[in-house]
Structure formats: structure tokens, C-alpha cells
Chain A
Amino acid sequence: MAERDLSGAARVIDRRAFLKLTLGAGGVMLLAACTSTPAAAPTTAPAVAPQAAATSGPATGAAPTTAAAPTTAPATQVGTATMRIAIGIDPDTLDPVGQTTTTVQNIVDYMVESLVFLGQDGKPQPGLAESWQVSPDGKSYTFKLRQGVAFHDGAPFNADAVKQSFERVLNKDMKVPLRSPMERVDQVTAVDASTVRFDLKAPFPPFIAAMAGTQYAIVSPNVAKSFPTSYNEQPVGTGPYLFKSRTKGSEVVLERNEKYWGRKPYYQTVQFRVVPEAATRESLLLANQAEMIILPPVSDIPKLQQNSQVKVLLAPSNRTIFVAIDVTRPGPTQDAKFRQALNYAVDKEGIIKSVLFGAADPMDAPMSSMLFGYCKAGAYPYDPNKAKQLLQEGGYSNVALKMGYPTGRYVQDAQAAQAIAGNLRDVGINVDPQTSDWPSYLAQINVPPDKSTFDIHMLGWAPGFLDAFQAMVQFKKSAWPPAGLATSHYSNPQVEDLLSKADQNQNEQERAQQYCEASKLIWNDAPWIFLWVQKFPIVHSVKVKNIGSLAIEKFSAIYAEPA
């Protein structure tokens, strides 16, 4: 045995033993490191699945109305219970102007309200404004405000408050990611205490629909004064709930506004619990530790539908998922026939059934059916033979396509992308799918034609307000990156013409007709592989009722009550 060295940092174990120990420890730790690296478990809902519906841009949700709007008066029962809702992301900010994610907007909607509400049918309804008029030239909107409304801090709701609130939105020094619909506003005038007029720089037919957005909710003039260029994390609005407390990363707690101007909600307290893991959200519901959750693991939806203790709501949404085809890249993607072949090659219904577990509807237009201006544009049923035929006619053989897809951004995106790649291989197209995390992916696809790296890439698009205006942005040359996100680099002069007319047309019927014609042209040009419209899954205990949804990926649960 080695002589004991009693100096310095000697140990009692001899060198050989020490080496054995450290190597052993190192080996064990290496083994441990290999098994506990934070790789998202791929087969079930990935650990970042909750970001899917949440973090993309769909903004402008409104203060929700449920089956019974707050205006329908009288005596409803109110209780002292707490409603616990589990969501997947921690709010970045609670200030209405800073909103980008619909899940966070959903929370803020409990506290603040806009002039216009979004109805469950997708149509605008009176909110803090009882009625509105548009001038014949479409550049002036006059709102008649509701009387007898007060903010949580006691300040009265009037035209002046609206003006101050909007000036805060329009202030260039304030960070408002989704200011753009309101950038057309030239001036906000308080005509009298209960009348406000908005003067626009140019006609903007979807203005009313856009006004329902959470970002444009009216906040107390005291907030506008104290936070002219920064975010206020304790919203003061006119809504049915007051801000009570917030623990970052954990929960947001609201309590009922006993002085609310409309119908009071049943639950005295609402607790939004932040639970990023979809499976854990589901566990909370099953363990009776939450009344309602959103976005459970998609693979569990069939099982939940059979569970008699819970109710599954697959709410219609505005989010289309598609594979954008870069039509300017040299190669077969420039040919409409080739793109149509791709459309016939993909088995959308099959993928929806087996990969998405029914949580989507196939697309039949370049936008969701929940939008104004939607009309059925066509169909590309699954027909691999037709696809092969079209490829043959075009003389395409041994085609190789580079495909990009995000992971954890949309429901089952990675799995669906693999299935799509498989479908394409079945008709003889070599597909090389690649993925990366969202920000890197975004940087790769958000490029002008000369910097493009993918032939086809998967993407989702959810307009901020339910109007074809924003859906059609994807097909305009003016929105090609880097100016916008029309990553398929598509442009058709006929379509551009129709869109520029429709975007300014005051006549609703004509407008809808023009969007419809444009949709059909786009459908035939097939700049996308049109996949599906995602559904927004909401699951709640059977012990609560009166829970609905808004078609912008929001739940409508303010008037939930015990069943």
C-alpha cells in the first residue's frame, strides 16, 4: 500500500483506489448526463407543446362574451368559489398594449374591455360602445359609449378616457407589438362625454373587427398618466374581474368586481395556474385540482372524450397550418401543376385522424371558415395516383425537395411533417426534412427569395382579427420578407388587384365576393400545400358549465358556473 502522504491535500485513500473512485463516479455521472439531458420526449406531447397555440402572433382577441353577454341583465347567482384554470405559458406582461399571445390576452380580457366585443359566432358586438356609425367615405368612425361604467379605481369611463387610452396605444415610444391595425388612426376626438370619433388616414373596412382586440382595451386614465411609455402589470380596466395578485411562473389570481356594470360572474376568484407541461395540466384536471384546462396532450383527446368526468371542447379556430412552397426558387416549385400534385399527394384527413387525433379540420380555402370573407375555394382530396400523373405530365422525375418544419410550435408539427414527407416520398419525391427551434426556424424562413434555403416549409397563420384582410397578407408581394411574412414569395397580379379592391371596399357583400374570387385563384395556384385548420382543445370538469370559445384560440369562461 502506498505510504501515507500527510502533507497538503492528501487523502486517506491510495492513488489506485482514488482513480477507481473518480473514474467510477465520472462514468456514473456520464451515464446520468446522457439519460437526463433535457431532450423533449418526442412521442407524446413534447414538453414545449403549450407554445403551439400560445406564442404566435394571433392578437386582437376581445373581451369575451359567452352565451349570455354581460348586458343581458339581471339577478344571477353569485358564489364564493374559486375557478382554477390551467394554462401553458407564463404571461410576459399583463398590460393590454403589450399583448401578443392569445392565452395571455385571455387572462387580461377578464380585467379590461374594448369598445367592441367579439362574439362566439365571430361577429363584433357592442362592448363598451353601445353603437357605432361609419362615415360614407369610410374614414370616420363614431362610437356611442355606454353610460354608468366606471374603472376599477373609480375613475369614470367616458370619451376622454377612451382618447387617453388610445393615445397611449399610438404613442411611438410605447412598445406595442400589434399596433399596426391602429396605425391608420389619424386622430381620436372626444366629441362629447359619451361620444368618440376615430378619424382614419384611409378607409379600413375591418376596423370594427380589429377594435375588439385586447391590445386596444380601454384602461383607466390614471394608468395612461402614470405609465405613458411603460407597461403596467396590474391592469385597471372596466372588466368583471379585478387584479388581485401574481406570482411569476406560477399563477395569476383575479377577484370579482362587485361594481361591474354588467352581469356579474359566478366565481368570486379565478386562479390561472401556469403549468407548461401538457400532461401535467391534464393530471391537474383529472385530480380535481383544476376546473378547466387548455391544450391537453393531443394523443389523450380520444381518451378524455370517453371520460365521463370531463368534457372536451374542440373549439373552431382561425389558425391554418400549411406547407408554404417557395414559388420563386429555381426548380419545379415554380410550376402550379407541380404544386397541385403536392396537394394531391398529402393525405390530410389521414394525418388529422392518426397524428392529430381529430384536433383539426381539413382546409378548403386559404383561410379558416371563421373569417369574414371566407368561401369554399376548392378541394384537393388525397389522390396519390393523380399526383403521380401530374408529375409525369410535367416531366418531373427524381425531384428532391428541401423541407423545413418547426418543432413544438404547432400541435404535433414534427410528427405531421414526418407524415407529410412520407406521403411525398410515396409519389416519388425525395424529401429531406429539417427542423430547429422556433426562433432559428423563423430566421431561416423569413428571408427574401434570394436567401431562401427551403423548397417547402411548414408554417401556421392565425390572423389577429377575424377578417380575410389579414389572412390574405400571405399572398401579397408587399408582404414578402423582410417586410412581412409571406414566405412563399407568391404574387399573382389578378389576386393583387382583387385584394387591393377588397381591402378598401366599404360594401360588405362586394368585399366578400372579391375575397372569394381571390381565394379561388389562390387555391388553383396552390402556393401552399393546404393542410388543416387547427382546433383549439378546451377540457373542463363536468362540474362546471357555460364554457365556450372565441374563434381566435380563446376560451370563454367568464360566465362559467357550477353545473
Chain B
Amino acid sequence: MLTYIVRRLVAAIPTLLGVAAIVFAMLRLLPGDPARVIAGLLATDEDVERIRHQLGLDQPLPIQFLDFFLRLLRLDLGTSARTNQPVMNEILARLPHTIELAVIATIIATIVGVAAGVLAASHHNSRVDYLISAATLFGISMPVYWLGLMLIVVFAISLHWFPAAGADEPLSVVLPSLTLAGFVVALIARMTRSSLLEVLRQDYVRTARAKGLQEWRVTYVHALRNALLPVITVIGLQFGTLLGGAVLTETVFGWPGIGQLLVDSIFARDYPLVQGIVLTFAALFILVNLAVDVLYAYVDPRIRYH
């Protein structure tokens, strides 16, 4: 197992370098002049040129790429064009908030989602099942933007239970994570439900019932364990995506996360920061995937990696 993990980590390096090259190229293909955007409309052409020089954008492209590449090998992500602070610092300042939100949202979504899915599957075709299916359809289709604002209107403005925005108080995390979880819950519930339904049709489940085991034993101890395998993949992938920053939720709640930083940086054509964030996200995603695969092997004893 250890060798497997090490191999995967080593394989990640060329992947990350590929991502770096792609994002570098994509940014430079975008229309728009970063120096002018950063300097603003009122700056003179001279000042814009000076800023262009300071950002290193007047160098020929291959030189720019080489510079970027060599810095990357030294783990130096460069300096933000807008704030003049090291990219690493900018990212590290925001990343914990995104991770916090992603973790809490995923935990809520997993608990509620799996419970709902199990409930729906074990009472297949009953009213409960239809209710839960309708609720999940709602959860998946509802725009995050709308859900977030509705939660603010109800829980912050009318009831004064939670802060409407920001991340300063401990309770601030509730509304944003509920908003984020809304979609993930629905997804997990649906996955759990269909997976469990499939499993419950298997022969060995029939055998377990024939043996005389109580129904709850059959469902939870035997069926659910197997049904959860694809769900684990989905949870892992969702978590990985959430780590990239849920931009809409972060915007609605003024949550100082990395998704928003990415969008702002793209609009400001802050190349180093965009590159840094995309690379960070790629690295995190690779790690999350690896963790999910390892977890899989742990949960399913028949899986062996070599």
C-alpha cells in the first residue's frame, strides 16, 4: 500500500506541471491587458508600461514561461500583481476558510444525505420515498445564489439567529455551509438511495433474510456497507470540488475563501495569483482523489493495489 501511495504521489508531479503549463497558456490567450487593468483607467500610458515591466509582462513569452517554471520548481509561486504580496501568502490566508466550509458542508451533507438515502431505499415506493426524491430534486436544482439569500432573509434578518455575512463569529459558518450542503445532500441522498436499492436486490441479501436476520441488520450491517462504496467516491469528488472554493456561496456570504479570490483575480488579470490558485486546487484535488482511493481499499477488503 505504501508503495502504491508513493507511486501515486510521484505521478502527480508531471500532472501538476501539465496543469501549470495549461493555465499559463490559457491566461495569456485571454484578451485583456493586465497592466492596464491593474493601473486603472486614469493612469498614463507611461505608468502602464512601467507596471508592465515590473510584472515582467514585456518579456517574450518563452522567457516568461521559463521564469514561471523555474520558480515553480523552487515552490515559489510568485507575487500577486495586484497586492504585491507573495501568492503563497494570499492563498494561505484564504485556504483555511474554504477548507472549513468544505469540511463542514461535507459532514452535514454526508450525515443527512446518507440517512435520507437509506430511509428512501428501505421504504421504496412509499410516501417517504417520494417525498425524499422530490426534496433531492429540489436540492439539486435550486440555485445556490437563491438558497443562500433565502437563508439570510429568514435566519439572519427575520430571526436574527445567525450573522448574514462574514467569517468573524463562530456561528458565521452555519448559513454558508447549509447553503453549500444543500446541493451535496441531494446528490448523496440520490446516490445512496439508488446504490442501496441495487444492493438490496442482490442474492446475498436474500440469503441474509432467509437466515432469519432482523431487517435492520440486513439493511445496515450487510447491505449499506456495500452500497456505500460508490457513495464514498462521490463524497470524495464533491469534497475535492468544494475545496476549489464554492464561488457563489462565498460571494453571497462574503466568506473569505479561495473561490472568490480566484474569480477576482481573473477579472483583475492577476496572472501569478490565478496560476497559484489553480495549481493549489489541482494539488488538493489530486490528494483528495488519492485519499478516496486509499479509503476505498480500506473499506473494501477485496481491493488490493499493486
Contact = CB atoms under 8 A, between A and B. Distances in A.
Interface of A: 1, 6, 8-13, 17-18, 20-22, 24-25, 28-29, 31-32, 35-36, 38, 41, 47-48, 51, 55-59, 86, 90, 92-93, 98, 100-101, 172, 175-180, 183, 230-231, 233, 247-251, 273-277, 279-281, 283-284, 286-289, 436-440, 442-444, 446, 461, 463-464, 470, 482-485
B135 interface: no
Contacts of A13: 195, 198-199, 226, 229-230
B247 A38 contact: yes
Contact of B194 (A21, A101, A231, A249): A21
A551 to B, nearest CB: 16
B149 A59 contact: no
Contact of B167 (A101, A250, A483): A250
Contacts of A24: 190-191, 194
B253 A280 contact: yes
Contacts of B140: 28, 31-32, 35
B143 A277 contact: no
A100 B82 CA distance: 11
Given A12-B202, A233-B85, A275-B165, 14 more contacts: A29-B187, A36-B143, A90-B256, A177-B43, A231-B83, A247-B93, A249-B94, A249-B97, A250-B167, A280-B164, A283-B165, A288-B160, A436-B31, A439-B37
Interface string B238-270: 000000000110011110110011011001110
Interface in B132-160: 140-146, 149, 152-153, 156-157, 160
A273 B165 CA distance: 9
A375 to B, nearest CB: 23
27 contacts: A12-B300, A21-B191, A28-B187, A35-B143, A36-B183, A47-B145, A55-B40, A57-B42, A93-B84, A100-B39, A100-B42, A177-B40, A183-B44, A248-B94, A249-B93, A249-B257, A273-B165, A277-B252, A280-B254, A286-B157, A287-B152, A287-B157, A437-B32, A439-B30, A439-B31, A440-B32, A464-B42
Interface residues of B, number: 80
B43 A180 contact: yes
Interface in B254-304: 254, 256-257, 260-261, 263-264, 267-269, 300, 302-304
A280 B149 CA distance: 7
B222 to A, nearest CB: 11
A514 to B, nearest CB: 22
Nearest to A460: B41
A172 B165 contact: no
- Residue of B40, B85, B143, B303 ringed by the most chain A CB atoms within 10 A: B40
A461 B45 CA distance: 17
A280 B302 CA distance: 50
B165 A284 contact: yes
A248 B254 contact: no
> Does more than half of chain B's interface fall in helix, strand or loop, or is it mixed?
helix
B32 A439 contact: yes
Contacts of B50: 172, 175
Interface string B161-204: 00111111000000000000001000100110011001100110
Contacts of A28: 140, 187, 190-191
B49 to A, nearest CB: 10
B54 interface: yes
Contact of A93 (B83, B97, B261): B83
Contacts of B58: none
B226 A12 contact: yes
Contacts of B199: 12-13
A443 B41 contact: no
Contact of B145 (A32, A41, A93): A41
B191 A17 contact: no
B305 to A, nearest CB: 8
A93 B21 CA distance: 29
Contacts of A437: 32, 267
Contact of A439 (B165, B254, B267): B267
A36 B187 CA distance: 13
A279 B149 contact: yes
A289 B163 contact: yes
Given A248-B256, A250-B168, A178 B248 contact: no
